[in-house]
Amino acid sequence: MIPMVNLSHYLMEHAESLAIEVVEGVIQRMNLNIPEWEEEQAIRTYLDLWEFLGQYLKDRDKGSIPEFFLEWSKKNSEMQVQSGGDISEIVKRYPPTRDVFNDIITRISMKFGLSVKENASIIKWINNTLDISLNETFSWFKHLNDKYKEEAEKELLNLSAPIVPIQDNIVIIPLIGKIDDDNTRHIEENVVPKIAEMQVNYVIADFSGALIDNQRILDLLDRIGKMLGLMDIRLVFTGLRPDLVKLIVNSNFEISNVDSFATVKQAVENIHNKVQMGES
C-alpha cells in the first residue's frame, strides 16, 4: 500500500508538469497546430485530472470520474459545433491521449515499485475515464448540433416569411425562397397570430421571390387566407408569375376571393383608393 500512497503524493505534487507532458505528447504524436488558449485549457484540465487521480488513489472515496472532466468534454463539443467543425477532430485525439497517459503511468509505477496489478488498475481507471469522456463528447456534440440545427431552421423560417408593416393598417409578407409544408405551417402557426395582434386590415402576400411547386401548399395558403378573413383581414396577392397562376388555377385555391396585383405598389395604391372611398 505504501508505493500507492507515495504515487498519490507524487501525482498531486507534479500534476502541472504531468499535464504539460500529456498535452505536448499528444501534439507531437499528432503533429497538431492548435491555438495557445486551447493548449492552456487542456493543460489546466489535465492538471486537475492528475490531482484528482492522486486524491482518488489516496482515499478511494471520490467518484469514478471527475465532473470537471465531463464539463471539459462538453466544452470541446461546443467549440466544434460553434466553429462548424467535425466531431472527428476531437475523437481522433483520444487514442494518442490514452497512449501518452498509459506510458506515463507505467513509467511512474515502475519508479515507485507498484505491482503489475496496481499499475493495471490505474491504467484501467484512466482508460475508463477517457471512455466516459469520449461518450460525453459524442452525446453532447449531437445534442448541441441538433439544437443549433433547430435554431437555424427556425431562423430560416422567419426569414422566409417576415412581417413588414408599411402603414397602420397594412403589412407585407414577402414570401422568399421555396415555400414548403414547414414554411406554410410556420405562417399558419406563428405569422397569422402575430398579424392578428397587430390589428391590421390588409395583408399583402408578395410572391415575387417565392418558389411554389406543390398544389397542396396552395391549399394550405387558401386555409390561411380564410383564417385571415374570419378576422376581417383582407388578403392581397402580388408578384404572381405565369407558372404560379397556372398552378393556382389547377388547385382548389379560391382565387376569386383574393385581389391580385403585379406589384406591391399597385396593391397599396388600390388599398388607399378603397379606404378613401370608404370600402372595407
CA-based nearest residue to 213, from 189, 248, 252, 238:
248
Strands (DSSP E) found in the chain: 164-167, 170-178, 202-211, 234-238, 259-261
User: In the structure, what pLDDT confidence band is assigned to residue 68 with cuts at 50, 70 and 90?
Assistant: confident
Provide, rounded to the nearest whole percent, the portion of the chain with pLDDT above 70. Answer: 89
Q: Which homologous superfamily is 161-276 in?
A: STAS domain (3.30.750.24)
pLDDT at res. 43: 92
Using one digit for the tens of pLDDT, what is the confidence trace for 193-240?
Answer: 888 888 889 999 888 888 877 777 777 777 888 888 888 888 898 988
Mean pLDDT of the chain: 84
Task: Provide CATH 3.30.750.24 ranges for the chain.
Answer: 161-276
pLDDT at res. 16: 95
* Global pTM exceeds 0.75: no
pLDDT of residue 1 exceeding 60, the answer is no
Using one digit for the tens of pLDDT, what is the confidence trace for 21-33?
Answer: 999 999 999 998 8
263 with 239: CB under 8 angstroms? Answer: yes
The C-alpha atoms of residue 189 and residue 178 are separated, in whole angstroms, by 18
Which of 216-220, 259-263, 272-276 reaches the highest mean pLDDT? 259-263
Task: Provide CATH 1.10.490.70 ranges for the chain.
Answer: 2-154
pLDDT at res. 153: 64
The whole-number average pLDDT for the span 8-29 is 93
pLDDT at res. 276: 78
pLDDT at res. 156: 63
**Pairing assessment for the beta strands 164-167 and 259-261 based on DSSP bridges:** unpaired
Q: Which residue has the higher pLDDT, 120 or 243?
A: 120
CATH of range 2-154; options 1.10.10.10, 1.20.120.420, 3.30.1490.20, 1.10.490.70: 1.10.490.70
Among the residue ranges 25-39, 42-56, 76-90, 243-257, the one predicted with the least confidence is: 243-257
